[in-house]
């Protein structure tokens, strides 16, 4: 959008006007945006040192921690009075799925300041295995919520309401954000949220 600005003149207030470009960034009307590839400098910074924020997923014992967390969540919900076995599994699934979404798909950057901010625009899921798809770690991380959904559904005795709840949470919060089609996409709800990661 252009504005007219009076052109300075030496004789009086009847100066000539010329259009001045507005350098403000236009807002996108789309709620889905794609993260641009890293600049040359960011790529160099990423390759200087290993990414401690995402390299742990390939280390020994990293996969076992998911099973341990699920077992601890199940044990915790079993201790709550009035919570049936069906709801205990559903709450375990819900907590794990939402927690993993926040950890892998919502929070961007790293807690360490050794790469000069090269990962500030990437979620942990995008940092795992340097963004390569279909690695063993990624396959494992997408299989865990699916397996937990199947176990939760079985122990909920295939109750329709709990099945729908578990299915929607697992599909839209745990599986879809990890699919290649949603890689490096952000969903923004104008006026409500800042850009949040789908995947």
- Residue 133 CA to residue 22 CA, distance in Å, equals 41
What does the block give as tokens for 87? 């709801």
Q: Would 175 be classed as within a structural domain?
A: yes
Residue 35 confidence (pLDDT): 66
The residues near 20 (Cβ < 8 Å, ≥ 6 apart) are 2, 3, 4, 5
- Residue 183 CA to residue 138 CA, distance in Å, equals 12
Q: Would 6 be classed as within a structural domain?
A: no
Q: Would 7 be classed as within a structural domain?
A: no
Residue 25 confidence (pLDDT): 47
Residue 59 confidence (pLDDT): 81
Tokens 């865990």 belong to residue = 144
Q: Would 155 be classed as within a structural domain?
A: yes
Q: Which domain holds residue 166?
A: 73-198
The predicted model scores a pTM of 0.73
The residues near 192 (Cβ < 8 Å, ≥ 6 apart) are none
Residue 43 confidence (pLDDT): 62
Q: Would 85 be classed as within a structural domain?
A: yes
Q: Would 147 be classed as within a structural domain?
A: yes
Residue 134 confidence (pLDDT): 86
Beta bridge partners of 17: 6
Tally the domains of the chain.
1
Residue 188 confidence (pLDDT): 65
**Element housing 45 (H / E):** helix 40-48
Beta bridge partners of 186: 33, 197
Print pLDDT tens along the chain (199 aa). 445 544 444 544 455 554 444 444 444 456 666 666 666 566 656 666 667 778 888 887 889 999 999 999 999 999 999 999 999 999 999 999 999 999 998 888 887 766 667 777 788 898 888 778 888 999 999 999 999 999 999 999 999 999 999 999 999 999 999 988 887 777 765 655 544 444 4
């Amino acid at each position: 959008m252009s504005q007219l600005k009076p052109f300075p003149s030496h004789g009086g207030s009847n100066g000539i006007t010329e259009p001045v470009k507005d350098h403000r960034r236009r807002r996108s009307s789309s709620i889905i945006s794609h993260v641009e590839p890293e600049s040359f400098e960011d790529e160099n910074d990423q390759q200087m040192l290993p990414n401690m924020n995402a390299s742990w997923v390939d280390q020994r014992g990293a996969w076992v921690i998911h099973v341990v967390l699920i077992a601890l969540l199940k044990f915790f919900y079993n201790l709550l009075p009035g919570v049936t076995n069906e709801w205990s599994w559903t709450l375990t699934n819900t907590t794990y799925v939402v927690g993993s979404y926040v950890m892998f798909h919502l929070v961007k950057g790293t807690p360490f300041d050794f790469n000069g901010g090269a990962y500030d625009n990437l979620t942990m899921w995008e940092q795992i295995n340097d963004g390569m798809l279909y690695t063993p770690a990624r396959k494992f991380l997408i299989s865990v919520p699916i397996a937990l959904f199947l176990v939760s559904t079985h122990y909920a005795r295939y109750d329709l309401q709990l099945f729908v709840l578990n299915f929607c949470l697992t599909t839209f919060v745990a599986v879809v954000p990890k699919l290649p089609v949603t890689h490096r996409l952000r969903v923004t709800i104008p006026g409500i949220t800042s850009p949040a990661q789908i995947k």
